[in-house]
Structures are given as structure tokens and as C-alpha cells.
Structure 1
Amino acid sequence: MKLDEVQTLDHEFVMPTYHRMQVAFERGEGARLFDVEGRDYIDFGSGIGVNSVGYGNPRMINVLCEQAQKLIHTSNLFYIPNQALLAQKLIKLSRMDMNVFFANSGAEANEAMIKLARKYGEIRFPKKRYKIITLQSSFHGRTLATLKATGQEAYHKYFAPFPDGFVIAQNLQDVYQKIDDETCGVMIELIQGEGGICALPQDEVRELAAFLRQHQILLLVDEVQSGVYRTGEFLASHLYGIQPDLISLAKGMGGGITIGAVMSAHKNVFVAGDHGSTFGGNPLSSRVALEVLEILEEEYHSKKLQAKIELFEERLEGLLKRSDIFLKKVGRGLMCGLEARDTQIQQTVISQALCAGVVVLRSGRNVVRFLPPLTISECEIDEGFERLHLLACLDE
């Protein structure tokens, strides 16, 4: 099917909720995508951080096919061996004393965190606590609750009234001013994925975490995008040296198969009937996620991941030095970006990169975002940046 044929069907039958780039992909190999016209692209976006082990990964495909032949779904009315093994694996990698709830996406995982925090706020204190403080420029999802938790007013237009109890702080220091006797939790992204790849100050995060623990207020960390080795460690929380009360995961955990999770240090707040998911952590998604984690754990311990991070950072610095259209490099690990001088430059770079055969993404008002597969080869990194160096906008 040609691109114009896909576009015709899409425009007629699909709700117009996305600003789509002018390309349709049909297959991939490693960190390389091929469109319906047969043209290849180096993928520095990985499906917005989802395709963590790249495309056509033989180990992932093998377990996907094997599990599909055995059992795809049963529901959470029954014990699921793969789910139990995956929960054990997540807790081991987290190095924290927690248990796990499985969902299907980052927004669902964050919804579960919000519900758990609110129940904690009701059963832990004499007076009910229900307020959750989030940060300006944060993004936590597109359900009504996670949308209201998102600290970007542009996403709120048209959809009120929202669930109440969400308070937006301007920054970490402002959080302290927003806390009152109805606050049950503070929800943050350590690196704001949709807010400009903004990494929060490490010292301020540690101070806030200690303060919240002292006052028995929950620290909720949204690691939907930053988790599962994206920043070089299994959790960005490891980089920051903190132990949150609740952590949400999704995106890269399934390598393209939909799965989300919440890890909680408060193991007995949720009881049977408090929350649920028909599909969450089913036999197929949990088996694939187990294999994805095994692959990435091997990349981490072999130091291959760190070598790729260092090479990627070196290449980003090269782009930064070559042209004055970028102000600085942002982010951590392979969750990184270049801050452009303005929105127009950001859009121009993204569109010209696609024409040059490289997929990059936007974040915030002016950041060009890079989220390559974590298994990307050094040759693919070099080829991608060679193509980016040919962009006309870099020579302006």
C-alpha cells in the first residue's frame, strides 16, 4: 500500500487526533525502519521510547511466538506464572522492597498510583488526605485524572470539569509551599519527557524525598519514559539516589508489547477489589517483558549500554558545536535532546531529519528529542548522525 492510499483511508476512517509525520512504516531491523516506499530511516525515536530492543529482535520474537502458541490471555481472575516471575524480576532490578500491579500503559499505571496514594491518604491519617502535588511542565497521561495531574494548561482545554485534588507547583521549591494537611503525595518525573527533557536538580530531589518521608507524604515517581535502563540505570531513581514510595513504568518494558506497572513500597494499601485490569500483565505481555528485561540487563552488565550512551553524547556534542541553532544538550543517558533556539528551528530540524532518513522527536516548546533503541549499534548511531550532519538548517 502506497503512502497516499494509507493517508486516504486514515483521513476517512481514523479520528484526527494526531499530527502525523508524512511517512508510513511497514518493517524494521535493528534500529532501522523501512517505509511503504522502501526507504530506510535510522530510528532515534523508538516509538517514543517504547521499542527498547529495536526491531526484529530474534529473542523477543521467539518468546512472543512461543507464548502466543501456548496462551495469550486468561484474565487476572487466575494466577499467571509469567506475571509473578515478571514482578519478581522488577523488584530485583529495582533493589527496593516493593510489590507490583500490572496495567497496559503509562497513563493506566499513573492512575493506579493516584488511586493508591489517595487510599493511603484516607486510611493513614485521622483526617482524609487526597491532594497530589505535581510540577509545571509535567506530563502524566491523557485520562481525565492524569491529564489534570499534567502541569501543562494546553492539555486541559475543552475537558473540564476534572477530578479535583491536583495542585501544580512551579518547581521543587514551590512544592513545600503547596503542601497542606490534605496533601497525600507529590508526583514527579525525574526527567520530564514531554516537558523539554528537563532533568530535575539532584540535590533538590533528595532533599524533597527526605522531607516527604519525614512527614509521611508519599513520593510518586513517574518513570514511564525514564525507566527500564533509558537513562543508563534501571531506574532514574537509582541515578538520583532515592527510594520512592511508588514508581510507575511502561514504554520500554514491553519492547513494543503494551504493558505498564506500578511498584509500591506500601504493599498492603490495595486489597482485592480496590483496583484491577482485564489485560494487565497477561501471559503474553508479561512473558515478552521478561525477555526484554533479560536482554537489557545483559546490555547493562556487559557495559555495552554505557558505551552507546557515551558515543551518543559525543555525537550530540558534535552537533551542538557545529551549529549555533542549538543552545545546549539536555537529559540523561539515551533520554536526551538538543534545545533549539526557538520552536521554528525545532520543527525544521525534525522535518528535515525525516527527509534525511532519521527519526527524531519533539519535546516541550523547543527541544529536539532523541530516544533511540537501547540496543542500537554504534554503526547505526554513526550513520544516523552522519545523516543529521547533512541537514541544511545546521549550516544556516
Structure 2
Amino acid sequence: MTKNFENYVLPTYGRQKVSFVAGKNAVLVDSEGKEYIDFAAGIAVCSVGHANERLTKAICDQVSKVIHVSNLYYIETQGECARKIVEQSGYDMKCFFANSGAEANEGAIKIARKYGEVEGKPKRYKIITLDHSFHGRTITALKATGQESMHNYFGPFPDGFVYAKNIDEIESLIDDHTVAVMLELVQGEGGVQPQDKKKVQALEQLLKSRDILLMVDEVQTGIYRTGEFLASNLYEITPDVITLAKGLGGGVPIGVVMTSKKDIFAPGDHGSTFGGNYLSTAAANEVLDILSEIKENGVLDEQLIYFETALAKFAAVHPAIFLEHVGLGMMRGLRVVDAETLGKVINAAREAGVIVLKAGRNTLRFLPPLTITKGEIDEGFVRLEKAMASL
């Protein structure tokens, strides 16, 4: 298993020495037959769990017909997916389909840059983002990311990105060349850190008064991860641009940038060979149907509360290790006393048969499938207790 990686795969990840070969909802099975409770969902990707029967059937049915034709033609499943996204969001927008969150954010940046190009006026091109943000690993999305350590080696970067320490500082950084503010309503990679709702709402009003775009990166928070279709719905704001990816395809790569600036792009301004093809949008359509159903019938909200309660109880038993419980919906974190202890907890959890994640320097992150059952939640925390006992 490891020899092929050592010989042929670039070492861009510090991979854990486990290989999964099967799964069912929130359970994964490795190559040795060991079972794990999955509290990570492929980093918020497997939103309807592993081997979901409805998603599997939708993908197989589509694969048996046509996988890809390119965006030179109408793709019926893409149009249907755009309709579902717009209707479930509640916003009056149009969509562009890509293959990842980074690509979706690149599209958002291009929308902002074109919006800032007004004949007879100075070019507006600056985009303000926040410290500790994460917007992707392409060159421009990486520069938009407010983490200086991630900028090592890869410059020179495109100009025009300004970093605010927090929302309070944004207004002081606006100048005549500012065209947009891009932010995550809950910083994922930055430590599962929610923004203050009232401050976000005040920022929205400020930006609208100055004709500055509000762009919300919902790559991780979107598709019911925080309990509503979008975190923007939860914060009761109306962004100008929203980006999506991760949980939308249930494991099939897909990204979306949606905007109320419906006429911003003309043919040739932007494109993607694979974006929105039959395979990815057929998968996304089924994921959207599954999740909207469990939202409407109350199952999703019930499971969110159950998971939050179980996590809070677990943290309360170990106050010397877990200092704070943070997050929204099924996007949760526990602040750990230090980075070394966090690493030990993650390794012990894996040995006990639970998959959890790191975020920021010292946050234990939980991103379970949104279809996780109460039984799977209970078993996961039983195993986590065993992990803690082994430390």
C-alpha cells in the first residue's frame, strides 16, 4: 500500500497509515477489516454518508447513459441542479459550475474583478479577506487565504488582497479600489470559528451602502452543514456571491459559484471543461433531494441537536483537555489544551476506531455525515471515551 505512494505520489499530505475499502453511512471499513465511526465525512464531503443507496443508484443510472459532453451543449442535469440550488437557497441568483471549492472561489474573484471594471472610473480590484481564512490552494485563492505561512515559496502572487484581523477592522481597510469582501461565516480550516451574527449583518449593510460586493465562501458551511441550506440563511444576510463545493456532490467533485449579478459574465469570460457535467450534477441532484427531505421532515434538526448534546457531554467529562466547544450544526470543534495533546487525541481516536480531524493549531474538528444515526453517534462517543482512557 505505502510503496506505491512512496514511489509515485508527490508527498503533499502527511497521510495516516490506513486504507479504507468499504463503508455504510457513518461507518468505514479498512483493508484489515477494522470498522471506524466516521466523524469526518471526507472533510465535510460525504454529506449523505458512504454507499448511500439512492446516491449510488443515481450515479450508476447516469453513468450507464452519458458521463460527459462538455459545456458546449445543454446539460439537463446541470440546469436542474442550478434550479434546486437557487430555490433551496432562497436567493435570486444564477450558477456557474466548476470542480472544487478553490475553482468556485476563483470564479468569485473573477466576478469581483469584472464588477470593479466600470468605464470612466478608477479600477476597483481589491478584495478584503480575514486572518486565518482558507479559500483554496490555487495561486489566487491561496493569496486570498489569510494565512501567511501558506504563502511561502509560491510567489509572486496576484495583487489586490488585503487581510483584516477581524470583521471590526474591515471598514478601516476599505479604499477607492476596494471591490469586495470575501469571508467564511464559520472559519473551517482556521479552527471552526463562527463569526458574530450582528457584526456580519452590520458589515452587509456597510458594504451595500458603498457598492462593495459581499462574497461568502460556503465551501464547507453550505449544503445544510450548519443546519440550514446555507450559513448565509442562518445569518439572515443576502450576499452578492456565494461559493459551494464539498458536500454538494456527496463525494463526486463539484464546485459552484452563484451570484445575484446575473449578467456579469459573457460567453468566453469564464469556463470549465468538466464543470457541471452529467456525472457531477446527477450526483448533486440526488444529494440535494436527500438532504432537503431530511431537513423538511425534521430528522436533520433532530440529529444536529443529538450530536451537539453528545459532544458537549463528552467535552464536559474532560475539562483539563477540552477548553471550549465551538461551531454550528454538524460543523463542530473542541479547543484542545495544546497542539501536542490534539495530535495524541486524533491518533488515539483512530486506534479506537473513530475518525476525527484537526483544524487550526489546537481544535479537534467534527464533520460527520448529515445522515448519521443516533446509534452511530452513540457508538462514536463510546469509542472516543476509550481513546481518552488510553492517553
TM-score under structure 2 length normalisation = 0.98
Q: Secondary structure at the match of 1:365?
A: coil
CA contact (8 A) 1:349 1:393 kept: no
Corresponding position: 1:362 with 2:362? no
Counterpart residue number, 1:390: 386
Alignment partner of 2:202 out of 190, 198, 207? 207
Counterpart residue number, 1:71: 66
Counterpart residue number, 2:349: 353
CA contact (8 A) 1:248 1:261 kept: yes
Alignment partner of 2:152 out of 142, 151, 157? 157
Alignment partner of 1:120 out of 115, 129, 132? 115
Q: Secondary structure at the match of 2:272?
A: coil
Taking the aligned partners of 2:44 and 2:275, their CA distance within structure 1 comes to 20
Alignment partner of 2:180 out of 158, 174, 185? 185
Corresponding position: 1:13 with 2:11? no
Alignment partner of 1:281 out of 273, 276, 296? 276
Taking the aligned partners of 1:107 and 1:182, their CA distance within structure 2 comes to 24
Deviation, 1:8, is 1.2
Q: What is the CA deviation profile of residues 278-325 of structure 1, one whole-angstrom value per residue up to 9, with x for unaligned ones?
A: 000001111110000000001111111111111111111112110120
Deviation, 1:124, is 7.3
Q: Secondary structure at the match of 1:132?
A: strand
Taking the aligned partners of 1:392 and 1:80, their CA distance within structure 2 comes to 50
Q: Secondary structure at the match of 1:391?
A: helix
Corresponding position: 1:87 with 2:82? yes
| Identity within the alignment, % | 53
Deviation, 1:348, is 0.9
Corresponding position: 1:308 with 2:303? yes
Counterpart residue number, 1:3: none
CA contact (8 A) 2:193 2:326 kept: yes
Give the 3 Å change call, closer, same or farther, for CA 200–98 of structure 1 in structure 2.
same
Q: What is the CA deviation profile of residues 55-93 of structure 1, one whole-angstrom value per residue up to 9, with x for unaligned ones?
A: 111100001000001010000000111101110111000
Give the 3 Å change call, closer, same or farther, for CA 24–124 of structure 1 in structure 2.
farther
Corresponding position: 1:175 with 2:175? no
CA contact (8 A) 2:20 2:29 kept: yes
Corresponding position: 1:59 with 2:59? no
Q: Secondary structure at the match of 1:300?
A: helix
Aligned length: 390
Taking the aligned partners of 1:227 and 1:117, their CA distance within structure 2 comes to 21
Q: What is the CA deviation profile of residues 113-148 of structure 1, one whole-angstrom value per residue up to 9, with x for unaligned ones?
A: 000100001137721100000000000000000000
Alignment partner of 1:40 out of 32, 35, 45? 35
CA contact (8 A) 2:351 2:387 kept: no
Q: Secondary structure at the match of 1:269?
A: coil
Taking the aligned partners of 1:224 and 1:16, their CA distance within structure 2 comes to 25
Taking the aligned partners of 1:393 and 1:179, their CA distance within structure 2 comes to 51
Corresponding position: 1:333 with 2:343? no
Alignment partner of 1:270 out of 265, 288, 305? 265
Counterpart residue number, 1:140: 135
CA contact (8 A) 1:44 1:372 kept: yes
Taking the aligned partners of 2:207 and 2:388, their CA distance within structure 1 comes to 49
Q: What is the CA deviation profile of residues 179-221 of structure 1, one whole-angstrom value per residue up to 9, with x for unaligned ones?
A: 1000000000000010000000111000000110111000000
CA contact (8 A) 1:136 1:152 kept: yes
Q: Secondary structure at the match of 2:117?
A: helix
Counterpart residue number, 2:371: 375
Deviation, 1:331, is 0.6
Q: Secondary structure at the match of 1:55?
A: coil
Q: What is the CA deviation profile of residues 238-267 of structure 1, one whole-angstrom value per residue up to 9, with x for unaligned ones?
A: 110000000000000000001000110000
CA contact (8 A) 1:103 1:261 kept: yes
CA contact (8 A) 1:105 1:258 kept: yes
Taking the aligned partners of 2:119 and 2:76, their CA distance within structure 1 comes to 33
Deviation, 1:9, is 1.2
Deviation, 1:107, is 0.1
TM-score under structure 1 length normalisation = 0.97
Structure 1 segments of 4 or more deviating over 4 A?
none
Taking the aligned partners of 1:362 and 1:356, their CA distance within structure 2 comes to 17
Alignment partner of 2:25 out of 21, 27, 30? 30
